[in-house]
Amino acid sequence: MDFEAMREYLPLFWDALGLTVRIGWQGVLFAFLLGALGAVILHLRLPVLRQITAAYIELFRNTPLLVQLFFLYFALPKIGIRMRPAVCGVLGLGLLGGAYMAETIRSGLESIAPIQSESAESLGMTRLQAFRYVILPQAVSRSVPGLIANVIFLLKETSVFSTISLMDLMFTAKDLIGMYAKTMECLTMLVVFYLIMLLPVSVLGSFVERRLRHAEFGP
């Protein structure tokens, strides 16, 4: 193991980590917003929009992110739609994640007994107020484990960004291996930097999940 080479590569991996984290979390935020909207549409059974949302979920859950990125980055320019690699990465990750998060949040919404909404309305709340103040907070709380799993899944999926010329962690590792043939060193650093990115999310997610479970069910 060439530790001197690893020390020289360290700044490159830190830069790649910054890019990966920035684009990854932007994609996660977009995915959450898209998923929440899709879940509400499915839960309220809004005509037409429900069918469109269901078709979107099936399309993006059943195609790989790599194929989706290729379509966005290489196919759309053929019809005049061009995006920078970073925008393409955020959009692709957000669209994929939105499909998964919509199903996760929808499951949380449907786990709430209808009697809660009926009780809130009987106390004078409108249907929208009952949904916003009674149903939605409980649904989000129950969806937290699934949402955290989705976040970790999406951050790991950033490893395919290198295919659209984004200098992420995977791109950096492959580039250095190609130039200097330091395979063991580069792959070791790749594993370490993915752990740096993902372990805090996993630990924080477990902590939040325990706190929410404690708040909901008591000691």
**Each residue's pLDDT tens digit in the chain (219 positions)?**
778 888 888 999 999 999 999 999 999 999 999 999 999 888 888 889 999 999 999 999 999 999 999 999 999 998 888 889 899 999 999 999 999 999 998 888 888 877 887 787 787 787 777 877 788 777 877 888 888 989 999 998 988 888 888 888 888 898 998 888 888 989 999 999 999 999 998 888 888 777 776 655 544
Q: By percentage, how much of the chain surpasses pLDDT 90?
A: 41
Model confidence, pTM = 0.86
3-217 belongs to which CATH class? mainly alpha
Q: How many CB atoms lie within 10 A of CB 52?
A: 12
Q: Which residue has the tokens 């399309």?
A: 59
Extents of the domains making up the chain: 3-217
How far is residue 174's CA from residue 99's CA, in Å, rounded to a whole number? 30
How far is residue 123's CA from residue 87's CA, in Å, rounded to a whole number? 46
